[in-house]
Structure 1
Amino acid sequence: MGNSKKLSLAIAVFILGASLVACDDGRGGAENAAKQFAAAMSTLDVGSVPFDGKDSAVASQQVQDVFKALEPDRPTVAAGELTLDGDTASVPLDYTWKIASGEWKYTVSAKFTKSGDKWLTVWNPASLVPGLNDNEILSKGSQSPQRADILGAGDAKLVTYRPVVNVGIDKPQLGAADPAASATQLAELVGVDPAAYTQQVAASGAEAFVIAITLREEGRTITDQQIQAIPGARAIPATQPLAPSRTFARAVLGTVGEANAEQIEASAGALTAGDITGIGGLQQQYDAQLRGTDAVVIRAQRADLTSEQIQAAATDPRRVVFEVAPTPGTPLKTTLDPNLQALAESTLAGVGPASAIVALRPSNGAVLAAASGPGSNGYNTAMLGQYAPGSTFKMVDSLAMLRNGLTPDSKVECTPTLTVDGRTFKNAEGYPESSLGSVTLRDAFAHSCNTAFIAARDSVSQAQLEAAAMAMGVAVEAPSLGAAAFLGSVPGEAAGTEHAASMIGQGKVLVSPLAAAIMAGSVAKGSPVSPQLVLNPDAGAAAGGTPGEPTADAASPSSGVTPEAPSQASGQPVTAAEAAALADMMRAVVTSGHAGFLSSVPGAPVGAKTGTAEFGKENPPKTHAWIVAVHGDLAVAVFVEDGGLGATTSGPLLKQFLTAAG
């Protein structure tokens, strides 16, 4: 190619390029600047955005200050259709925020200007939030709706708002008085640690009211006069969600208070410091259902506005830019009978070791009382305790034996002792000689002959024992319960002394007091009892629970059998005929066995089974004391952890409960 041709081609290319530049009106650059600003606002970090009239670092800090109250929330920001006017452009920006249960959407206009060959974003706070001024920031306030009640049988209010007084030092009321002296005096009056409270008062601001204790209004013995006699001390009336008494079903229901650090961390942002939430039990498990959702108000206000100025102003100097209405919580309905629960607790009031009484209605599985005594120290012994059931498990043995062809009238051998693989088993102290030898299964059951049941181990396999337990509704899951519980664990395989020990409810066999009541209830019902405590679990709460809490239908270690087929190993739940034979034997415990003291309980005839289970390494060993009973449409289990004999320790507690329950 000649030089003239090359030159012509070069000139042609130059002219074409020049015409392309001339056709670009700057729209592409402006659109890129708009997209960059929208993307930066989606992260609330505009440090890389070039501004007209504002240093990028200063602008970025101001953006963070404006939205600090909304952390950790971030908006989604999308740029709309650009309008170009020479060296200036404007773009609508669509903001979408997820705030609590609401959605805050708004559109603002962002402006851009061309400086040389660069497009710059024009700094304007109104492109962050509609109408925002340069000296303004956002604030966020929330208010929880009133927490929903927990209801019992017949919709009785178990946990509801009850009057209390917040007792503390109101620092502005101290005058010339010594804060430390007043704090010490008040702490001693209400029974809190004086050193810790004095330190708390000293560390609080000059305007603070520092609570020492919250007292129930009903039945309080510390009077307003005693409180007011201390300089700066006050009792301020309030209400709080409370059960009828401090101890009422506390381990089952849980309590309400400020979220602890562990709960806040586990809540994935749902809880923050100072939030009121459920602590333990049903209050924590169903917190979302009971709490509802907070009202949220977002306001624009001067950056230097103080809370004192807001309180002193005749009209609120802030303006509302967005709000979410509160959603009230839904009451949680339970089957607990307030009278039976209170009766169970008063029955256990004087028992020193860990203890429990569980009462349920066999016909529908309703848990009417689940009381854990003072010795349980706040633990839910009634539903979560894992203990060897001792001779109460002979109900399960007997079912397995009935399924092998025996009847209550079949003869079994009751010997004073029995040795298995070098380990000697014996009957309980004071076993009647008249019931030794060849006796009916009914008599061996009524007097709880250990050796007769252990002697049946060759004809009752461990797998049959497990199947019989599941057939009676224990060692299975509890899909309808709605609360964390342990429903028993029976190994499917065991040999030698361990299999022998299983025959008398020891070895690795474990039940809770709830499971023991279910076992007895299945006899009364004539089919397995499926326990129910919560009647209207919120689907989300029931399935997931609160982080760190068992799920609603957790049944702790169980045999892994599905709820639909609680006796897969046997293929058969307990039948009405089998239950009738077991009921006949449980009645014999009262009419001729060692629970004769229950014969005077008024009303329907009582059937029962006692149990004493050894535990620990001491000699003689300590024992768990058990007794279960059926009385009409009521099944009850009584348990005392370190309690001697079932008949002599738990028996009188059961009689007291059944007699008062009517």
Structure 2
Amino acid sequence: MARMGKSSKLSAALIGLILGASLVSCDDGRTGAQDAAKQLASALAALDVGAVPFEGKDSAAANEQLHEVFKELDPAKPAVQSGELKLDKDTATVPLNYSWKIGSGEWKYMVTAQLKKSGDKWLTVWTPGLLAHLAEGEVLGTSSQSPARADILGAGDVPLVTYRSVVNVGIDKPLLASTDPAASATQLAELVGVDPAAYVQQVQAAGPEAFVTAITLREDGRTISDNQIGEIPGARAIRDYLPLAPTRTFARALLGTAAEANAEQIEKSGGELQAGDTTGSGGLQQQYDAQLRGSHGIQVFAEKGGLTAEERQSLLNGGRRLLFEATMKVGTPLRTTLDPKIQQLAEDVLAKVGPASAIVALRPSSGAVLAAASGPGSNGYDTALLGQYAPGSIFKIVDSLAMIRNGMSPDSTVECPATLTVDGRTFKNAEGYPASSLGSVTLRDAFAHSCNTAFINARDTVSQGQLEAAATSLGVAVEAPALGASAFLGSVPGDATGTEHAASMIGQGKVLMSPLAAAVMAGSVAKGSPVSPQLVLNPGADESAAAGGAATPSASAPATSAAPSGSTAPPAAAD
């Protein structure tokens, strides 16, 4: 390698010095100002400017003023983006673009931030206008208007859930005077049937001006009178209206409930819910909450902070300047196919059934679900639509369709032995099976008496895939796009051998159905083509569900005249 001489080293050093000087002269402070602008925008979006250096304002004091200005918008936070920076020596300006989600609208505005260089730092010049279009001493205020919650309608648009009169029974603490709060709370709890210890704790924890609700009673049919309530010091009944079904239990698992939003629901709503809002929990009330609830009408305005009510009344428009307005949107009623009379009848039938139970009634011609009742033993679970059960002998409807597709007829001869062993597992008929129907019988007779062994015997001529195909042709184990509610339409494996395939032939093994799926299957037989269930009628949609696929009408129709016995699923009905 050639050695570098002294003159070469000197030339290289001079070039490096010149380049370094050029780079320094190009650094006009823009990078530092842009970094400061981005830091400011990020801090404003987080509503925390405690770490931002300001000129003319202590950072902690600026942060406190920011919180005071924006507290009426809590818990909402803005998106803030810094725009193109303009630099003039040691000063700079940068636009800040704010975007707030307010009710159903979006409040957008732009303010200009001024930056000044102090030493090697860029400081933000503090002004209330940095937060919004505010003058010194102004803060943001809001007013809102809430729409009434829309109804849930049944068949013929009969109101199922609508506003009904209620009374909130509780202790109004200002009325207690010198009375022991615990004593009154205990008396009231015992009167209305709530836990006295828990209610006493609620009353004691509430503030001195609070009304603490013990229970909300329907006005219609209540047995606790105002006189009984009034005899307890501090107790009173406050009348109100709530969106309620005809009775406390009416289609409760399906419809869900609507009540005042709690703190957790408000926090999780991302600003959609406010204190005092009514929101849905469970069922259709929760699924279609946004549609039923509508959205608030909200005004955001600038006003002088710290004024008394009297001082504000003396000012034009209360001293308020309107900055933004989101128009209130009323909720849209949810239309369903439920027939209230049939639904109530189904619930009456199940009222004294101990285990989980359900009745689903649908109209085969349209798939309209007329009733979807879950009994008290379901403990609030929507057994009617979501229950998963081995269908048992009602699955012989599927077997029969598959067998007929393979060339048999209702009059074909099948073998019905008392027992049948498959790969070491013995299957038998139900207790009390008539001996006269054993041996060589017609498929019609085997179906009518629900001969397990006859249908298991067909396992060699009906594959598991053919069972699955027959099930889907009857509306089972398929999607239900027109239903409009969460549901389980069944599961029929397309691949199974040996004892599992044998068990599938009598609705056992891994075959599962819901009461809704059972009703759809029966309805498909009655109609002669697949039924697609429909519960929620979307606005503008055709009320009759579209049907797809095909069953074999002439062969499957006789199945409706003899319902198979021994089903392990809850009852289902098709109309």
For normalisation by structure 1, the TM-score amounts to: 0.74
Name the counterpart of 1:447. 449
CA distance in 1, matches of 2:469, 2:72: 59
Give distance in 1, aligned partners of 2:374 and 2:257. 15
Q: 346, 349, 352: which is aligned to 1:350?
A: 352
Give the AA of the match of 2:65: Q
Q: Does structure 1 residue 236 correspond to structure 2 residue 238?
A: yes
Aligned with residue 394 of structure 1, among 393, 396, 399 = 396
Relative to structure 1, the CA distance from residue 201 to residue 317 in structure 2 (aligned partners, 3 Å threshold; closer, same or farther) is farther
2:497 is matched with: 495
Match of 1:584 among 530, 537, 558: 558
For 2:106, give the aligned amino acid.
E
1:611 maps onto 2:565 in alignment: yes
Contact kept in structure 1, 2:448 and 2:564, CA below 8 Å: no
| 1:548 matched residue in structure 2 | none
Match of residue 188 from structure 1: 190
More displaced 10-residue stretch of structure 1: 356-365 or 170-179: 170-179
Which residue in 2 is equivalent to 1:426? 428
- Read off the aligned partner of 1:349 and give its amino acid letter: A
DSSP 3-state at the match of 2:555: helix
Q: Contact 1:96 / 1:106 at 8 angstroms: preserved in 2?
A: yes
Q: 2:382 aligns with which of 361, 380, 383?
A: 380
Q: From 542, 552, 566, give the equivalent of 1:575.
A: 552
Residue 464 in 1 paired to residue 441 in 2?
no
Please give the residue correspondences for 1:4-403 in structure 2 after superposition, counting only pairs within 5 Å. 41=44, 44-47=47-50, 51-70=54-73, 71-76=75-80, 95-106=98-109, 121-134=124-137, 136-140=138-142, 142-259=144-261, 267-268=269-270, 270-271=272-273, 275-300=277-302, 319=320, 321-403=323-405
Q: What is the CA–CA distance in structure 2 between the aligned matches of 1:628 and 1:92, rounded to whole Å?
A: 65
In the alignment of these two chains, the number of paired residues is: 547
- 1:528 maps to 2:530: yes
CA contact (8 A) 1:611 1:625 kept: no
Distance 2:121 2:181 in 1: 64
Does the aligned pair in 2 maintain the 1:152–1:337 contact within 8 Å? Answer: yes
Shift of 1:436: 2.2
**Once the 2 structures are TM-superposed, how far is the Cα of residue 103 of structure 1 from its aligned partner?**
2.7
1:178 positional shift: 1.6
SS class of match (2:536): coil
**CA deviation vs aligned residue, 1:71-116 (integer Å, no higher than 9, x gap):** 44125365689799x9999887664433232232445566678989
C-alpha displacement of 1:146: 1.1
CA 131–217 in structure 1, closer or farther in 2 if over 3 Å, else same: same
Which shifted more, 372-381 or 499-508? Answer: 499-508
Higher deviation after alignment, 212-221 or 115-124: 115-124
Q: Offset at 1:511?
A: 0.7
| Range 409-418 or range 398-407, more displaced | 409-418
Partner secondary structure for residue 454 of structure 1: helix
The answer to whether the 8 A contact 2:449-2:565 is kept is: no
Q: For residue 257 of structure 1, report the CA deviation from its aligned partner.
A: 2.4
Q: The residue matched to 1:612 in structure 2 has which SS?
A: coil
Name the CA shift for 1:522/1:87 in 2 (closer, same or farther; >3 Å).
Answer: closer
Question: Residue 286 of structure 1 contacts residue 537 of structure 1 at CA under 8 Å; is this kept in 2?
Answer: no
Task: Using the aligned pairs only, state the percent identity.
Answer: 68
Q: How far apart are the structure 2 equivalents of 1:386 and 1:32?
A: 59
Check 1:122–1:268 CA distance in 2 against 1; reply closer, same or farther (3 A cut).
closer
> Secondary structure in 1 aligned to 2:214?
strand
Distance change >3 Å, CA 474–CA 81, structure 1 → 2: closer
Moved more, 187-196 or 139-148: 139-148
Q: Equivalent residue of 2:564, what SS?
A: strand
Gap change, CA 1:79 and 1:521, over 3 Å in 2 = closer
Worse-matched range after superposition: 35-44 or 211-220: 35-44
> Are 1:611 and 1:627, in contact at CA under 8 Å, matched by a contact in 2?
no
Q: Distance in 2 between matches of 1:162 and 1:627?
A: 32
Look up the equivalent residue of 2:57 and give its one-letter code: K
Moved more, 407-416 or 240-249: 407-416
Which amino acid counterpart does residue 132 of structure 1 have in structure 2? Answer: A
**Structure-1 separation of matches of 2:538 and 2:500:** 42
SS of corresponding position for 1:323: strand
Q: Note closer, same or farther for the CA distance 1:626–1:416 as it changes in structure 2 (3 Å cut).
A: farther
How far is the alpha carbon of 1:456 from its aligned partner? Answer: 1.6
For residues 523-555 of structure 1, the C-alpha deviation after alignment (integer angstroms, 9 at most, x for no partner) is 11111111111111799xxxxxxxxxxxxxxxx
Deviations 1:294-318 (A, max 9, x none): 233334456557xxx6599868967
Is the alpha carbon distance of 1:436 and 1:312 closer, same or farther for their aligned partners in structure 2, counting shifts above 3 Å? farther
Runs of 5+ in structure 1 lacking a partner? 1-12, 540-562, 567-571, 590-608, 614-623, 635-662
Provide Cα deviations, 1:120-178, integer angstroms capped at 9, x if missing partner.
Answer: 654332443334333x4334554532111111111111111111111111111112222
User: Hey, what does 1:511 align to over in structure 2?
Assistant: 513
- C-alpha deviation, 1:258, in angstroms: 4.1
The one-letter amino acid paired with 1:66 is V
Contact kept in structure 1, 2:515 and 2:569, CA below 8 Å = no
8 Å CA contact retained: 2:357, 2:570: no
Q: Distance in 1 between matches of 2:286 and 2:355?
A: 27
Provide the aligned C-alpha RMSD in A.
Answer: 3.7
The DSSP-based 3-state class of the residue aligned with 2:284 is: helix
Distance 1:119 1:409, change over 3 A: closer
Cα distance 1:318–1:214, how it changes in 2: closer, same or farther (>3 A)? farther
In the aligned structure 1, how far is the partner of 2:386 from the partner of 2:296? Answer: 33
- What secondary structure is seen at the aligned counterpart in 2 of 1:479? coil
